[in-house]
Amino acid sequence: MNFLINRSLLAQTSFTSTSPAGLACVVHAVAHEGEHEVHLLGDSEVPSETIAVMVTSAPPPGAAPREAALGAIPGSPATGTAPATLEINAREISAARIRRAVAEPAAHHVIQPGTHLLVNTPEPADARRVRLVRKADSAVVFDSASLGSGDRFAVTLIRPGRYQIENQLDGKKLALTVEYPAPGKQPYRPPPPMQIECTAAGLQAPATTIKPAQGVIVVCSVPSRLHVELIEPDDGPRATAPGPASPGTAGPAHDSLTEEAKAVLRRVLRTFSGKRDG
């Protein structure tokens, strides 16, 4: 079976919690009851879209809490039940706005306290900053440009190499290396995600090396604007061979990888997307 992978996922080497997209997402637990609005922001403070959200401990009659489409929320304790989740996807919301011009009413959500606001857009080009505002006093209770205590930033790093994770609000940094994949006959299964604590003392990690597609979950305890960037790619043993151009100038970020490594990373993406090798 041939499987067409999303090349943008294989090539994604930059991630931000301000507008998480692709293999990154931000998670915020909604705490307080009352009327709220979710604002999608572009390059200005004026929302490009507003979604009404009522937070109440009384669920709608006959309604069951919505389970997370992506499974358990990154970094949540294992309780046997995935928390209720309200997913914010800029691409889907923009499409709904276009349909509303014809017939569809504006979005309105009723959720319970403790519901997780999950911010992610499949394509980086569609990413937006997200803000949650309490209507009673216009207070901003969540802003993806400045994560608060308890918020989480989850990212899956595919491309081998040396990355830098930075809290841009205080300048604290952490170096993290994604190992070059070892080709093998068995389907690749990435290890469980690694949790990193973002504290006043800096970014605290149990290790500085991870495997391809091993998730990274940054749990914030201080104001955080997190940025993850590939600093030095690892193109494997053949990358040092002389050639007419340096690896970063010939095309997408993954083009200089060996064919064996590309095969392994394709298997990684098949696993990530729920596909099996054919």
Q: Are residues 163 and 266 in the same domain?
A: yes
Q: Are residues 109 and 175 in the same domain?
A: no
| pLDDT at res. 77 | 43
In the chain the beta strands, taken as DSSP E runs, fall at 14-16, 24-29, 34-41, 47-55, 85-88, 108-111, 116-119, 129-134, 139-143, 152-156, 161-167, 172-178, 194-199, 202-204, 209-210, 215-220, 226-233
Each residue's pLDDT tens digit, 29-60: 999 999 999 999 988 888 888 889 999 988 65
Sheet harboring 209-210: ordered strands across?
14-16, 226-233, 161-167, 172-178, 209-210
Q: What confidence category does residue 65 fall into, taking pLDDT thresholds of 50, 70 and 90?
A: very low
Residue 278 included in any domain: no
Q: Are residues 157 and 242 in the same domain?
A: yes
Q: Once rounded to an integer, what is the mean pLDDT over residues 4-32?
A: 84
Residue found under tokens 């999950």: 118
Q: What confidence category does residue 1 fall into, taking pLDDT thresholds of 50, 70 and 90?
A: very low
Residue 1 included in any domain: no
Q: What confidence category does residue 270 fall into, taking pLDDT thresholds of 50, 70 and 90?
A: low
Q: Once rounded to an integer, what is the mean pLDDT over residues 198-218?
A: 95
Residue 21 included in any domain: no
Domain boundary among 100, 125, 143: 143
Q: Global pTM?
A: 0.77
Q: Are residues 53 and 117 in the same domain?
A: yes
Q: Give the torsion through C-alpha atoms of 157, 158, 163, 169, to 10 deg.
A: -30
How many structural domains compose the chain?
2
Q: Which residue has the higher pLDDT, 71 or 195?
A: 195
- Taking the C-alpha atoms of residue 42 and residue 48, their distance in angstroms, rounded to an integer, is 7
Q: Are residues 195 and 262 in the same domain?
A: yes
Q: Are residues 122 and 166 in the same domain?
A: no
Q: Once rounded to an integer, what is the mean pLDDT over residues 231-259?
A: 57
Each residue's pLDDT tens digit, 139-153: 999 999 999 999 999
| Structure tokens belonging to residue 140 | 């901003």
Domain boundary among 89, 118, 143: 143
Percentage of the chain beyond pLDDT 90 is 46
* Single-letter residue type at 7: R
